Amino acid sequence: MNILIVDDDIVDRELITRTLKRSNISCEISGVESADQGLEQLKKMEFDAVLLDYNLPKRNGIELLVELRNAHERHDVAVIMMSTSKDDELALNCINAGAQDFLVKTEINVFRLQRAIVNSHARADLEKRLYQSYQHTKELAEQDSLTGISSRYHFDESLSNDLKSNERNKTTLALLLIDLDHFKYVNDNYGHDIGDSLLIEVVNRIHRCLRGNELFARLGGDEFAITLTNINSANNATHVAQRIIDALSEPFTIDNHIITSAASIGISISPDDSVNPKELFKYADIAMYKAKSKGRNQFSFFEEAMQVEFLSNFHIENQLKEALKNKHFNLHYQPVMDPKTQQLTGVEALIRWEVDGVAISPDKFIPIAEKSRLILDIGQWVIEEAIKRLSDLNLNHSQSITMAINLSAVQLTNDSVIDVIQDCIKQYNVDANLIEFEITETALIVEPEKTVKIIQAISDLGCKISLDDFGTGFSSLSHLHSFPIDIVKIDKSLMPSYFSTEKVKKLLSGLIVMLKSLKLQIVAEGVETQDDLDLCINLGVDKVQGYFFDKALPVDVFERKYLQLNNKKVL
């Protein structure tokens, strides 16, 4: 047995050492005179028992005892506190602090010391086993036995601690409550074993939506919770919730059964909604049932302001699906003119959408369509309608006009767009050189390797590629040689009517000289005044479009106004 004596009195240390040697205990004895030396020895060696003096310099034995327990997390070291005091309260304080026994120095003899060490060692061993049992029980209490994630008990404790930390650090926390839709149907129709397997698979899919530092718990049955700490804004919670909904939308295959599952998610934010764990939980629960009442398979924020925005977007997404199904979109056509002759050379097709007679701005619904990837189907409809219309328009025009069609960044990452274009060209017998596909510079930085292949494939079909909004945002000369660009559309912000300064005019002039040197066709957008038109003529711009000539028009108005003029000067 290894025994450490911690006592600043050398006489007492020697007395205890001699007493130990006269006992029946076979032991190796080490002695130190301070708390720091004692802790150092405990780091270096394994000791079975520590004889610890209460009255040590700088700090007393209880302080050392507490530090020893915290620092080493050892529950198998027997600690016997020693003191010259006979105070019962002191002895009780030492036992409460973690000592296994208390000895009065003046009463120490071979028998008492031997008995104290043996009994204390037995107590320490029992405490160790009790601690291990506690840890095992704690683990069972904190971990869900089916899925292996945190339990309701652990979640409640952690949420309280996280909210306190959140309040101290002035940060934001989001609580997500997740409830599986129609889980009872699975249990009732497939049995509880299949239901349990489904819960495990659901947890695995949700895990893949998380970064790993979130607290993820099963609250019971088919209800789960996630806390997101130190987030920048509620948008972080939005992204996580949407990833989970998307992940659960794919059917599950369990024991040869195809099972469809979905989830309703309620979200509350701290400190915006509450800093109280019970209130925050209640608000997330309310939000979850709002999601269920709205049709399930969606998420809902408790905060009303956010809720209005997200519900609006969700509503628009559903309306877009209906519009696609019932073909409620329209294309309007903005004329593209020769600046010198002011004759029609082409048109740009622009999508328009009305709901109950109210026009919905493309700036509002296009981002939602892109995020939901409905833009793939909407974009296909636009391509088919525009190419069909081009075929019809050129039948009524003595000189063929061009058709500019906008492509979304999402479409440029999907190979199917190439087949759609090729099929339409064949079906409507249109010269591919008359079709211009407009892409924005921001679209070129989304999956650039795949984007360049798709753009090149469209160019190989014979279509023209037009770079839109040049001169703003991500403008980069590298795009002009990295992609098969034929046409550059100068952004309206460089027109005098938008920003009338000599510096901007010089910038526009320099851009046009450079683009001409690259043999690129130049189209100026946003031509709204005579000054805009005159500048474009003086700089040698090839084509112009803007409100000076016309806004985008319904096809019947466009045909009546432009194609029945027999190519006469419009202005």
CATH number at residue 476: 3.20.20.450
Q: What is the pLDDT of residues 364-412, one digit of tens each?
A: 899 889 878 899 999 999 999 999 999 999 987 778 999 999 999 889 9
Instruction: Tell whether the model's pLDDT for residue 566 goes beyond 50.
Output: no
Instruction: Tell whether the model's pLDDT for residue 165 goes beyond 90.
Output: no
Cα 5 to the center of its chain, rounded Å: 56
Whether 380 and 499 share a structural domain: yes
For the sheet with 49-53, list strands across it.
28-32, 2-6, 49-53, 78-83, 101-104
User: Which of the listed residues 93, 118, 140 is the one where a domain comes to its end?
Assistant: 140
Q: What is the pLDDT of residues 243-300, one digit of tens each?
A: 999 999 888 998 888 888 889 999 999 998 889 998 899 889 888 887 886 778 889 8
Asked, for residue 22, whether it belongs to a domain, the answer is yes
Whether 208 and 246 share a structural domain: yes
Whether 281 and 193 share a structural domain: yes
Which pLDDT does position 71 carry in this prediction?
Answer: 60
Asked, for residue 145, whether it belongs to a domain, the answer is no
Which pLDDT does position 138 carry in this prediction?
Answer: 65
Q: What is the pLDDT of residues 69-88, one digit of tens each?
A: 766 555 578 889 999 999 99
Q: Which of 181, 189, 206, 182 is nearest to 257 (CA)?
A: 189
Which pLDDT does position 342 carry in this prediction?
Answer: 92
| pLDDT, mean over the chain | 86
Whether 77 and 180 share a structural domain: no
Higher confidence at residue 173 or residue 34? Answer: 173
Whether 24 and 80 share a structural domain: yes
Torsion of CA 310, 316, 322, 323, to 10 degrees: -160
Which pLDDT does position 571 carry in this prediction?
Answer: 44
Q: How many helices (H) and strands (E) does the chain have?
A: 19, 22
Which pLDDT does position 309 carry in this prediction?
Answer: 61
Instruction: Tell whether the model's pLDDT for residue 139 goes beyond 70.
Output: no
CATH code of the domain containing 49: 3.40.50.2300
pLDDT mean over 412-427:
93
Asked, for residue 133, whether it belongs to a domain, the answer is yes
User: Which of the listed residues 95, 116, 140 is the one where a domain comes to its end?
Assistant: 140
Domain that holds residue 383: 313-563
User: Which of the listed residues 251, 270, 302 is the one where a domain comes to its end?
Assistant: 302
> What single DSSP character describes residue 55?
S
CA angle (372, 377, 379) in 5-degree steps: 100
pLDDT mean over 157-183:
89
Instruction: Tell whether the model's pLDDT for residue 178 goes beyond 90.
Output: yes
Whether 338 and 447 share a structural domain: yes
* Buried-exposed string 293-329: b where 16+ CB fall within 10 A, e elsewhere: eeeebbbbbbbeebeeebeebbebeebbeebbeeeeb
Beta bridge partners of 173: 270
Asked, for residue 308, whether it belongs to a domain, the answer is no
Higher confidence at residue 340 or residue 569? Answer: 340
Whether 190 and 106 share a structural domain: no
Beta bridge partners of 437: 405, 465
Whether 208 and 109 share a structural domain: no
CATH code of the domain containing 243: 3.30.70.270
Distance CA 49, CA 29 (A): 10
Instruction: Tell whether the model's pLDDT for residue 119 goes beyond 50.
Output: yes
Whether 322 and 293 share a structural domain: no
Whether 284 and 185 share a structural domain: yes
Cα 384 to the center of its chain, rounded Å: 35
User: Which amino acid is residue 474, in one-letter code?
Assistant: F
Q: What is the pLDDT of residues 239-251, one digit of tens each?
A: 999 999 999 988 8
Which pLDDT does position 46 carry in this prediction?
Answer: 85
Asked, for residue 569, whether it belongs to a domain, the answer is no
Q: What is the pLDDT confidence band of residue 174, given thresholds at 50, 70 and 90?
A: very high
Distance CA 126, CA 118 (A): 12
Instruction: Tell whether the model's pLDDT for residue 335 goes beyond 70.
Output: yes
Asked, for residue 571, whether it belongs to a domain, the answer is no
Structure-block tokens of residue 484: 């098969």
Instruction: Tell whether the model's pLDDT for residue 187 goes beyond 60.
Output: yes
Percentage above 70 pLDDT, the chain:
92
Asked, for residue 95, whether it belongs to a domain, the answer is yes
Which pLDDT does position 473 carry in this prediction?
Answer: 56
DSSP 318-356: HHHHHHHHHT-EEEEEEEEE-TTT--EEEEEEEEEEEET
Domain total for the chain? Answer: 3
Asked, for residue 388, whether it belongs to a domain, the answer is yes
Whether 368 and 327 share a structural domain: yes
Distance CA 379, CA 213 (A): 39
Kindly report which listed range (205-214, 304-313, 475-484) carries the lowest average pLDDT score. Answer: 304-313
Which pLDDT does position 311 carry in this prediction?
Answer: 67
Whether 394 and 499 share a structural domain: yes
Which pLDDT does position 422 carry in this prediction?
Answer: 96
Which pLDDT does position 428 carry in this prediction?
Answer: 95
Percentage above 90 pLDDT, the chain:
39
Which pLDDT does position 140 carry in this prediction?
Answer: 65
Q: Which of 140, 125, 105, 73 is nearest to 5 (CA)?
A: 105
